[in-house]
Structure 1
Amino acid sequence: MALRRIFLVGIGIIMAIVFGSLTQIKGIAQSFTDLDLAVYHAPIHYQDTDSTKYIGDYITRFDYDGNWQGTNNWDNLQQFALNAYAYYSVVETCTHWFITYSFFHPQDWTDIPFDQEHENDLEGKLAIVRKDGSTFGKLEGIVTVFHKDFYSYTPSASPLVNGAENIDGTLTMNTYNGSLHPLTTQEAKGHGLKAWPYTSNFKGASNEDGIIYYPSKTTAELPASGNDRNVQYLLLDVFASNGMWQRQLNEASLSSSSALTFASWGTFKGDTSGGCGAGTPTCSTNSANAPWGWDDSNDGSVYKGEMALDPAHLTDVYFDGLGNFDTTYIRNQFIQDLKDRGYNSANLPQGWPTQINLNSLIGKLKNQCF
């Protein structure tokens, strides 16, 4: 019996290595954390800034002002330090890790007459990482959030090709802290995000306004000015206790008037106080979305929130050339937490996207790969 147990454990370990992660064998610990994985693939981030209001373009955390009230983030911009943070989440299939990264700004602002602005802004990207047998896998592509459109990019030699959506460009990769990182960039003011250098007026030249942010597991630095070329941003787990996702779950059955952070499922509260819309611009309310509220306006069968909730499906639609590709999850805390809270197709969170069948989503969870 002892020899038989040793043989079975050995076979299991070999199969897990083939799939690239020891998390697939129940009871065997992963040799690294999600934070390690997220930092390894996190972008070097070029943030364009506008001299009219540099701090309006600094990245930070939603509760930078010490609270989770969505309707005072615009108001408090001048009163608190905007140390650099970004959010991440990791979900896992037998073949891939899917990592979302998101960058928060307290204001989506403008100094252009008759333009529009709004309180809170969160845009980001999905990283598609194949388990290739190496510790942290290989980045095969990203999909970025640029307001109401998604854009796709792949590194050189990626196997991914156009699917239902076209690939929009090639990723630039730079070495930092011993690993290759993709370069991303965000506009000033409106903060739409694409791969560098496909948007914004900031490419890193000395005569351009902008900040270059670098990922960190320990440090959240404050930019010296709107022209700082080396600022570390600290990665925060979306699933952290009392973090962004837990706030959403806690408010998922509340009305907008009762909730503090979210106006509806995946959409932050935001109002017109504090000068939003002052002068000739207009100010829209409840206009910023969390990753489970991100949506491309014209990508067919991919629905609101799937970049976070069901990234394997989004990837399967957006790309061909996927090879061995699993579309069910051995680890997806978004879906698991919804299930554990008792949500299903007959008991949906307030504002749940009507196109997504929650029972079908829950059915994509599984315990192991064999």
Structure 2
Amino acid sequence: MRDRTSNGRSRIARALTAAGVAATVAAAQLVAPTAATAAVSRAELALRWAPIHYQDVDATGTHSLGGQSDYIAKVDFDGDLNGRNNWDRTGQAGTSLAAHAYYSVVETSTHWYLTYLFFHPRDWTDHPFFETEHENDGEGVLLAVERDGSTYGVLRGAVTVAHSDFYSYTPAGSTWTSGRETVDGTLQLQSSPHDSFTHPVTAQEAQGHGLKAYPQYTINGDGIVYYPSTVAETPSSGNDRDVRYALIDIFAAGGLWAQRANTSLFAGLGTFAGDTSGDCGAGTWSCSTNSANAPWGWDDGNDLPARGELASDPAKLSVEYFTVPAGLSRSYTHNPYSGAAAALKEAARTAPPVVD
């Protein structure tokens, strides 16, 4: 599938400050954490490695809602778990676009696999030709962290989701190299002003929200820089360069995984429900239905791993995408997805592709 860009915009690109660039470059080298003194919780692990996230924002056109359509949010930002009213309720009074992202942690004896989902209520466009819109948008990244005996391990590789394509990256100093798929670039690390760690840096385009490692996508004009935290902040505008986002465990009681059979939220296995209500598609090419995915629905149809295996079988995906000199275990010591693995694989085999 083509990699969408934000056409139809006339905005002036503004460079990052010299100080910001210097901080990014200085933090780009991979640094192993100090030796472990106590076991780290999965929530702490997810927070430590959660990306610093650059979100490009387009404020043009009525469907942008002045930029709010590019804000990341909770799936239930409007107070309910009905996926078919999210387009309509984006930006309405009584709803919240406070910044959140979802995560899951899967473990083997050799690695931690951290999956992050960034959700937008709208996938939108501001021009009438050849592009579709749809309700709900879910894209994200898988991080592979080697368990080397230190508190948080060492980051070795990443695979991002940009619509129906996956892109792979390694940080500077990683021992992982290209496998069946060629590594697409270097995963930068950057210091956060809100904690003492360097974090991987990801970025999403405006409108369609494809996700890659920064700066393969970056901010062009207006944009938001999201920082991982335990606090969820709402951007002050579409050009806010310091917004904290909170993490939500996909496997939490009543969370996304627990809701996977909720037909108000999901139209099928790992596919968010979305309809054509409101002005979705008005003035554009069309509005498609049921066109966004949760992590267990992500798929790159041109690659060997099956639909959803980026999240549910990340060790398999890692050995396909990368060459891992020290090897890795394929036996999971913690994988809540695995209880439904057979159903996931069978449904993925028979389900029609969902194109984001």
TM-score (norm 1): 0.80
Alignment of 1:117-196 (within 5 A): 117-176=133-192, 177-196=195-214
> What percentage of aligned pairs have identical amino acids?
52
Q: 1:280 Cα shift?
A: 2.9
Letter in 1 for 2:251: F
Cross-structure match for 2:68: 55
User: Which residue, out of 216, 226, 239, partners 2:251?
Assistant: 239
Kindly indicate whether the alpha-carbon contact (under 8 Å) linking 1:110 and 1:281 is maintained by their aligned counterparts in 2: no
Q: How many equivalent residue pairs? A: 307
Deviation track 1:48-78 (CA, whole Å, cap 9, x = no partner) reads 0002220000000000001110100001002
| CA distance in structure 1 between the partners assigned to 2:198 and 2:219 by the alignment | 24
Cα RMSD between the aligned structures?
Answer: 1.9
Structure 2 runs not aligned, ≥5 long: 1-34, 352-356
Output the CA distance in 2 between the equivalents of 1:322 and 1:288.
Answer: 35
Correspondence 1:94-113 to 2 at 5 A? 94-113=109-128
Matches within 5 A, 1:1-370: 31-52=39-60, 53=64, 54-79=67-92, 80-114=95-129, 115-176=131-192, 177-202=195-220, 208-216=221-229, 218-248=230-260, 250-251=261-262, 259-299=263-303, 301-336=304-339, 338=340, 344=342, 348=343, 352-354=347-349
**CA distance in 2: counterparts of 1:111 and 1:240, whole angstroms:** 36
Report Cα offsets for 1:276-316 as digits up to 9, x if no partner: 001133100000000000001211x2110001110000001
Give, in whole Å, the separation in 1 of the partners of 2:208 and 2:199. Answer: 24
Q: Deviations over 1:314-366 (max 9, x none)?
A: 00111003413101101101113x27xxxx5xxx469711289xxxxxxxxxx
Letter in 1 for 2:274: G
Relative contact order higher in (CA < 8 Å, ≥ 6 apart): 2
CA distance, structure 2, for counterparts of residue 88 and residue 260 of structure 1: 22
Aligned equivalents of 1:266, 1:131: Cα separation in 2: 29
CA distance in 2, matches of 1:95, 1:31: 15
Name the CA distance, whole Å, in 1 between partners of 2:286 and 2:325: 44
Partner of 2:3: none
Structure 1 residues 305 and 77, CA, compared in 2 at 3 Å: closer, same or farther? same
In the alignment, the residues of structure 2 paired with residue 296 and residue 224 of structure 1 have an alpha-carbon distance, to the nearest angstrom, of: 35
Report runs of 4+ in structure 1 exceeding 4 Å deviation: none
Amino acid corresponding to residue 332 of structure 2 in structure 1: Y
Distance in 2, matches of 1:233 and 1:173, equals 18
Alpha-carbon shift at residue 200 of structure 1 (Å): 4.2
Q: Distance in 2 between matches of 1:350 and 1:165?
A: 22
**Alpha-carbon distance between aligned partners in 1 of 2:105 and 2:305, rounded to the nearest angstrom:** 19
The Cα of 1:113 is off from its aligned counterpart by: 1.3
Structure 1 unaligned residues grouped into runs of 5+: 1-19, 23-29, 203-207, 252-258, 357-370
Q: Residue 316 of structure 1 contacts residue 322 of structure 1 at CA under 8 Å; is this kept in 2?
A: no
Shift of 1:178: 1.2
- CA 1:213–1:294: 2 relative to 1, 3 Å: same
Give the 3-state SS of the residue equivalent to 1:313 in structure 2: helix
Residue 330 of structure 1 aligns to a residue whose secondary structure is strand
Q: Secondary structure at the match of 2:292?
A: coil
Distance 2:70 2:272 in 1: 19
Q: Evaluate the alpha carbon distance shift between residue 183 and residue 51 of structure 1 in structure 2; reply closer, same or farther with a 3 A threshold.
A: same
Q: Which has the larger radius of gyration?
A: 1
Q: Distance in 2 between matches of 1:191 and 1:351?
A: 29
Deviation, structure 1 residue 94: 0.6
Q: Is the Cα–Cα contact under 8 Å of residues 132 and 284 in structure 2 kept in the other structure?
A: no
Contact 2:162 2:210 in 1 (8 A): yes
How far apart in 2 are the matches of 1:64 and 1:140? 33
Change (3 A) 1:200 1:283: farther
Q: Which amino acid aligns with 2:41?
A: T
TM-score by length of 2: 0.83
Please say if residues 56 and 219 of structure 2, whose CA atoms lie closer than 8 Å, have aligned partners that are also in contact. yes
- Which deviates the most, 272-281 or 57-66? 272-281
- Listed one character per residue, the Cα deviations across residues 241-298 of structure 1 (whole Å, up to 9, x for unaligned) are 11110000x44xxxxxxx1111110101100001100113310000000000000121
Evaluate the alpha carbon distance shift between residue 353 and residue 21 of structure 1 in structure 2; reply closer, same or farther with a 3 A threshold: farther
Residue type of the alignment partner of 2:79: G
Q: Shift of residue 168 of structure 1?
A: 0.4
- 1:201 deviates by 4.3
TM-superposed deviation, 1:199: 1.8
Secondary structure of 2:347 counterpart: coil
Match of 1:359 in 2: none
